[in-house]
Structure 1
């Protein structure tokens, strides 16, 4: 007897199955959707605020991620929405091009993701060096933390990383000498403490997400004490929707906008597919089909772009909450989008009670998780080369921007791999009138100087046998260099024998 996997069923069958789910799954999926909704709501708002856009746009992206992407094939357990990892690039894009152009950039990124998925390039994202990915996430985490300490202290977030560093002395003064700063610091500390303590609560309590408990409690304290802190401003969802204008369409092919589109597409795709690899290890349901998931993410971002909303990715926090809550089908992630939509229609005023300092603390914790310091320390102990790539990527992201930092890390990782793959062993055995030189490994141009140094140190006037039969790979540069050296020795009346690897000319 064989069981047909969800990924092998036709689209019509999967679509029908959503409305008529397998027996026994509706209840657990319904409960899981509520848990995911409660996790997603404050994160949608917090990511939007941190990105410098209206809070409603973060909720729009969460709704699209739940309903649109949730219905499409690709992944079963992943949940999509606005991600903390994209706040840096979104804020930079809005600062450079304006909010009116954000929709164009997100739409372009979505279309590029669809093209990548249809071209079956989704699986190639798994080939990116883990140290580059970890460095990218750590860099995003540092920049995110650096930006969110300002709302906690009662100051607006500076535009550039340099200004964030240089503004720290003024931030410290503001935080510890003003009522707004002290109140924000106390609320942020309360939020972080509650989230940490909730992990040790009884299991039956932890059905309610710790982030929700912390945000609700801290917001209640702020309201009860009339704390002098800034609150989130939330307006009409329909009024916040900002479709690309005619003028914005004219900027679509501008080099700077195209660069932002490429950055959004690559980062969102990488984050989504790396999240898929992590989430797939958490459950026994059908695994992610990477190319279809990339098309689904692209479709979601295309819709978000047409609405002028934030870009989306698959988000590991919501996805893991979905798995841990016992979800069995896609219904849970679709329903979480429905709950987001119903909430902003029925209770939009509730979000206006959220202090920005509390959301800042929520994102500081998200940034701290992105750092993954324990993994970084283990990598430094076990593989210094990979650790160097991680630290370089992180440093370059903080010092420049996300695209330059990530590309730098990728370039260094490729060079490092090329060097490691070009390991060449050279050994010599000297006899009375004969020298035997044995080579092994990979003889590429990167090891050519070492190879030539060794050959040139062979004593003159002796017969030489160069044994290269154990060389796994011999490129043209090394092949030609050995032949030229042998020819030169023969002109000096030396007998030189060269045994080439099998298959070489």
Structure 2
């Protein structure tokens, strides 16, 4: 498939000066024009010297652009660190904040070299987006004061309480400049054919021109006459070691998280090579170390500038580097032009930028996954208590919710015809043992008991509790039979050793062949709530079933063995969201002649099928699937067709002994959908899955709570 014009080139094209001149040079000029007002506005909002914002923009473009692992990402001062920097300046002063920035950069380099920086992406999305929302609201309320011609206060609470007085005060020309800037930023992207020019640039230029003619008394940008001599070099912070270490860690972690999230987001904007996140962290750390040493602000990857860079047609990291050089040249040669910009115009740009950190799409997604409370608590905590306190509060709440869910196994005991049935469902861990023991002890001594285990996870403490009670109940004259989910086969003992010993003696008798992707995030036993001996499994890249005769001997042998020897009742093909094989097939950037390229040729019929299809919408969420997810769904349907190219499969299906089932697992939502072998393919779990509920262990696919 042809790649779009804004996709990064191959390695040979990267060396071409023609590519740099035709694509990266124009893109760098566009990014330069939007970076200057944003950098000045962020510096003003943070309380830092304005020249410090420009230094960070230059260093972020050149250093992070040259050394980072995300070639199309553009770095500089970011709105996400505004609250942090403002707090550090209040606590330590600007020169010490520059030293903290330098130390944070060195820590980032260590995180990148040790390859643990990516752990930042393991943070709960609810906490990350809540943090950004809290920062965004704080910036917006703060800059609203400047737009109205006043002065921002030191905290969100102070800004909110002072807002009524600010609204009724005399505003002068500043409010006109600020409101006009906000109006242009919001409306410009809606105008056809001109939205390619960045709205902040248009707003700042237009308002600056208007202010030069009609607003003589408006407050404007004030830069030093000699920028290089006016740089404030770092000094050692005065404070306790704990205070200094906390400050350094806060800057390093927030800058790292924002940069890595931005890099991941930029990857989704193009079909080029994916970012090297460890190298990106090293590049960001080097940029922060240099920026702090020169008296600049902290640097992060910035999605606003990066998305503009991609949209403007950038092909290589040369665009980010050049944009930094343009800023340096402009400040040194034409800095007086920047002093014409009204501060209210910069505040208007930052006001909109802050509000855009609160994204309704994130709120809807988190609400659908029942994580909205964590988002709200984090956002409110960041705004009211501070960034570190708010994030910590969100993390504690997220962890508490995880522990609560782990403890929510359902244990019921019912009696019918003299037989007590104990049903245990969910994840049974030590947190739920007390509830389990209370239920078991409510059963009369000497009773006949059947325990049905339908659990996602059973830890050692829960296993021991069941076994101890079982032995005690038998000693008091009762009887206990333990069964695993969906099986009529009794277990002699709860521990897994007994189950495996029984399977070793009796041999395997799986009822199902489960074909899925090799992706490490896909755990078949978790999806189907099954255990050892329940299913025969085949895993490969892209969950592919090449047609019979395609020389895929391993897959052929597994299918024929499962159908002819094991006599499975069904074959399940399970695709999944965010599939790397689907993304690689669409990007067409797999190394020529590699084994992966040869294997992915089996995906070409699925690509053709997906291209010919209309958009696919998840019926449960109403969300349109991305092109890669659409391909992975269509791919499941194609593999179901390929299965019928095997004579043994076709014969068993014709005689009613075998059923073919398609599944698609949404990793982010932990939900399964049924896939038909005909359009529109994707249906709600339960509509098509109901047909396998009576077929042994696979009923767990339909009855697992995570699949509903």
Structures share fold, TM-score greater than 0.5: yes
Aligned residues of 1:76 and 1:285 also touching (Cα < 8 A): no
In 2, Cα distance between the equivalents of 1:92 and 1:153? 23
Is the Cα–Cα contact under 8 Å of residues 27 and 314 in structure 2 kept in the other structure? yes
Larger helix proportion of the pair: 1
Which of 107, 112, 115 is the equivalent residue of 1:112? Answer: 107
Q: What residue is the counterpart of 1:308 in the other structure? A: 295
Whether contact under 8 Å (2:148, 2:178) holds in the other structure is no
Give yes or no for the alignment of 1:213 onto 2:202. Answer: yes
The residue aligned with 1:459 is 444
2:372 to 368, 382, 387: 387
Shift of 1:273: 0.5
Structure 2 counterpart of 1:405: 390
1:366: how far off? 0.3
Gaps of 5+ in 2: 1-6, 483-492, 500-708
Matches within 5 A, 1:10-29: 20-21=15-16, 23-29=18-24
* 1:352 match: 339
The one of 354, 371, 375 equivalent to 2:362 is 375
Aligned in 2, Cα 1:8/1:122: closer, same or farther, shift over 3 Å? farther
Deviation at 1:193, TM superposition (A): 1.4
Q: How does 1:73-112 map to 2 (within 5 A)?
A: 73-112=68-107
Q: 1:417 aligns with which of 393, 399, 402?
A: 402
Cα displacement string for residues 351-380 of structure 1 (whole angstroms, at most 9, x for unaligned residues): 111111111110001001101134314543
Asked if the contact 2:423/2:451 (under 8 Å) is kept, the reply is: yes
Question: Under a length normalisation based on structure 1, what TM-score does the superposition of the two structures give?
Answer: 0.89
Corresponding position of 2:269: 282
Question: Closer, same or farther in 2 for the Cα pair 1:420/1:167, shift >3 Å?
Answer: same
1:320-342 per-residue CA deviation (whole Å, 9 max, x = no partner) reads: 00000000111111000000000
Does residue 69 of structure 1 match 2:53? no
Secondary structure of the equivalent of 1:435? strand
1:35–1:207: 8 Å Cα contact kept in structure 2?
no
* C-alpha displacement of 1:437: 2.0
* In the alignment, structure 1 residue 481 sits paired with structure 2 residue 465: yes
Question: What is the CA-CA distance between 1:221 and the residue it aligns to?
Answer: 1.5
Residues 453, 24 of structure 1: alpha-carbon distance in 2 compared, 3 angstrom cutoff: same
Q: Which moved more, 1:370-379 or 1:36-45?
A: 370-379
**Cα distance between partner residues in 2 of 1:242 and 1:169:** 37
CA–CA distance in structure 2, aligned partners of residues 7 and 428 of structure 1: 64
Asked if the contact 1:472/1:501 (under 8 Å) is kept, the reply is: no
Equivalent positions of 1:240-259 (< 5 A) are 240-245=230-235, 248=236, 254-259=241-246
The CA distance in 2 between the partners of 1:80 and 1:21, in whole Å, is 24
- Deviations for 1:408-462, whole angstroms, at most 9, x for unmatched residues? 2122222323433555243445344432323243211232343233223323431
Structure-2 residue corresponding to 1:448: 433
SS at structure 2 position matched to 1:436? strand
Kindly indicate whether the alpha-carbon contact (under 8 Å) linking 2:466 and 2:494 is maintained by their aligned counterparts in 1: no
Q: Is the 8 A contact 1:467 1:500 kept in 2?
A: no
**Structure-to-structure mapping, 1:291-330, within 5 angstroms:** 291-330=278-317
Q: CA deviation at 1:389?
A: 1.0
Compared CA separation, residues 64 and 399, structure 1 to 2 (3 A): same
Displacement of 1:107: 1.2
Q: Quick one: higher RCO (CA 8 Å, sep 6+), 1 or 2? A: 1
Query: Could you tell me which residue of structure 2 aligns to residue 229 of structure 1?
Result: 218
Alignment check: 8 A CA contact 1:76 1:287 kept = no
Is residue 136 of structure 1 aligned with residue 131 of structure 2? yes
- What is the alpha-carbon distance in structure 1 between the residues aligned to residue 317 and residue 58 of structure 2? 15
- 2: distance between equivalents of 1:479 and 1:206? 62
Question: 1:504 Cα deviation (Å)?
Answer: 7.6
Preserved contact between residue 120 and residue 253 of structure 2 (Cα < 8 Å): no
The answer for the alignment partner of 1:502 in structure 2 is: 496
Measured in 2, the distance between the counterparts of 1:190 and 1:504 equals 74
| Displacement after TM superposition at 1:398 (Å) | 1.2
2:152 corresponding residue in structure 1:
157
Question: Does the 8 A contact of 1:7 with 1:73 survive in 2?
Answer: no
Residue pair 2:9, 2:272 contacting (<8 A) in 1 also: no
How far residue 307 of structure 1 moved from its aligned partner, in angstroms, is: 1.3
How far apart are residue 490 of structure 1 and its match?
A: 4.5
Q: 1:484 offset after TM fit, Å? A: 4.1
Query: In the TM superposition, what whole-angstrom CA distance separates every residue of 1:238-266 from its partner, at most 9, and x where no partner exists?
Result: 13322223xx1675x72111111111111
Kept after mapping to 1: 8 A contact 2:262/2:301: yes
Contact 1:7 1:289 (8 Å CA) reproduced: no
Contact residue 81 and residue 255 of structure 2 kept, 8 A: yes
Aligned to 2:681: none
Residue 362 (structure 1) aligns with: 349
Query: Partners in 2 of 1:8 and 1:209 — Cα distance?
Result: 28
Counterpart of 2:191 (choices 201, 216, 219) is 201
By how many angstroms is 1:68 displaced?
1.0
**Cα offset for 1:184?**
1.9
